[in-house]
Amino acid sequence: MFKFVLIASLLVSVAFAAPPQDADDAAERAELERIQNESAQYSFDSGIKDGINDGIFDREESRDGQKILDKYSTSDGYGMRTVHYLVDENGYRVVKEEVEIIGEGPVFNSEGQADVQGSLFGKYSIMLNSDDSDKHFKDIRA
């Protein structure tokens, strides 16, 4: 019984010794987050041109402070859709959308190649691999 009381006393002491999370700490964290958001800057792009399954996905995004500009395009063999949007103090909104009819649906090409690229990871390509039942694609990095 004595051990239980001692352990309980120690736990209560530790709990009371922890620094309180008061309004000053919350305000300081909020101010730091505001400063970081106002000075944030980045840009990146990525894309997939899938010559196997006849699909395309491209994306470009840049941020300057609290303003984000983005454009993405997708294609599924029927159409190419490109959406330009903006995120700022007024929220997310599409500023332009383009749709182009390009075909009658995706066309599978077992001899095709899928090319992947991105500003963070470079470029690589894959092809189908019918010679290996465990690995169904070949990495053909350039």
Q: Is 24 a domain residue?
A: no
Which residues, 6+ apart, have CB-to-CB distance to 130 below 8 Å? 110
Q: What is the pLDDT of residues 4-14, one digit of tens each?
A: 555 655 555 55
pLDDT average, residue stretch 81-97? 95
Q: Is 25 a domain residue?
A: no
- Domain span including residue 73: 40-139
Q: Is 101 a domain residue?
A: yes
Of 49 and 142, the one with more pLDDT: 49
Q: What is the pLDDT of residues 98-137, one digit of tens each?
A: 999 999 999 999 888 999 999 988 999 988 877 766 666 6
* Average of per-residue pLDDT values in the chain: 84
pLDDT average, residue stretch 14-35? 75
Domain count for the chain, please give it: 1
Q: Long-range contact list for 116-123, CB < 8 A, 24+ apart?
A: 116/46, 116/47, 116/48, 117/45, 117/46, 117/47, 118/44, 118/45, 118/46, 118/47, 119/43, 119/44, 119/45, 119/46, 120/44, 120/46
Q: Is 30 a domain residue?
A: no
pLDDT above 70: percentage of residues in the chain: 77
